Chains A and B, each alone.
Chain A
Amino acid sequence: MENAVVHIPNLSLGNTQSVANMIKRVGGEVIIAMTPEDLSSAKKIILPGVGAFDEGMNELRDQGWIDVLNKLVLEKKVPILGICLGMQFFFEGSEEGELPGLSWISGRLKRFVSTHEDPIKIPHMGWNALNVYRRESIIPEMEEELRYYFVHSYHAICGDVDDLVATAHHGSDITAAVQRNNIYGVQFHPEKSHTFGMALLKNFLSVKC
Chain B
Amino acid sequence: MNISNLSKEPLPVKAKAPLAKRIIPCLDVKDGRTVKGVNFVDLRDAGDPVELAWQYSQQGADELVFLDITATHERRKTMVELVKAVARQINIPFTIGGGINEISDADILLNAGADKISINSAAVRNPDFIDELAAAFGKQFVVVAVDTKLVEGTNLVHLNGGRIATEFETEKWIKEAEERGAGEILLTSMDHDGTKAGFDNSLLKKINDTISIPLIASGGAGNVQHFIDVFEKTNVDAALAASVFHYGEILIPSLKEELRKHNIEVRL
Contact = CB atoms under 8 A, between A and B. Distances in A.
Q: What DSSP secondary structure best describes chain A's contact surface?
A: mixed
Contacts, number: 127
Interface string A45-59: 000001110000000
Contacts of A34: none
Contacts of A172: 5-6
A191 B94 CA distance: 12
Contact of B8 (A159, A164, A170): A164
Contact of A159 (B1, B92, B113, B268): B1
Interface in A69-98: none
Interface in A121-138: 121-129, 131-135
Nearest to B6: A173
A152 B140 CA distance: 7
B166 interface: no
Contacts of B139: 123, 153
Interface residues of B, number: 42
Interface stretch (B14-22, B145-153, B222-230): B14-22
A114 B213 CA distance: 11
Contact of A126 (B4, B7, B115, B214): B214
B40 interface: no
B6 to A, nearest CB: 5
Interface string A94-132: 000000000000011000001000011111111111011
Contacts of A18: 87, 91, 113
Interface stretch (A1-9, A60-68, A142-150): A142-150
A127 to B, nearest CB: 4
A175 B57 contact: no
A129 B14 contact: yes
A194 interface: yes
B17 A129 contact: yes
B117 to A, nearest CB: 13
B140 A123 contact: yes
Given A128-B19, A169-B18, A175 B140 contact: no
Contact of A128 (B1, B20, B88, B138): B20
Interface in A156-174: 157-161, 164, 167, 169-170, 172-174
Contact of B11 (A133, A158, A193): A133
A192 interface: yes
B5 A192 contact: no
Contacts of B162: none
A134 B10 CA distance: 8
Interface of A: 15, 17-18, 21-22, 25, 50-52, 107-108, 114, 119-129, 131-135, 144-145, 147, 149, 151-153, 157-161, 164, 167, 169-170, 172-175, 189, 191-194, 197-198
Given A50-B141, A51-B137, 13 more contacts: A121-B212, A122-B213, A123-B140, A125-B214, A126-B238, A127-B62, A131-B14, A167-B5, A169-B16, A169-B18, A174-B5, A193-B92, A197-B91
21 contacts: A17-B87, A18-B91, A121-B213, A121-B237, A122-B212, A126-B214, A126-B237, A127-B267, A128-B19, A129-B14, A129-B17, A131-B12, A132-B12, A147-B20, A153-B140, A159-B1, A159-B3, A167-B5, A169-B16, A194-B57, A194-B91
The 3 A-B pairs at the shortest CB distance, nearest first, are namely A129-B17, A131-B10, A127-B20
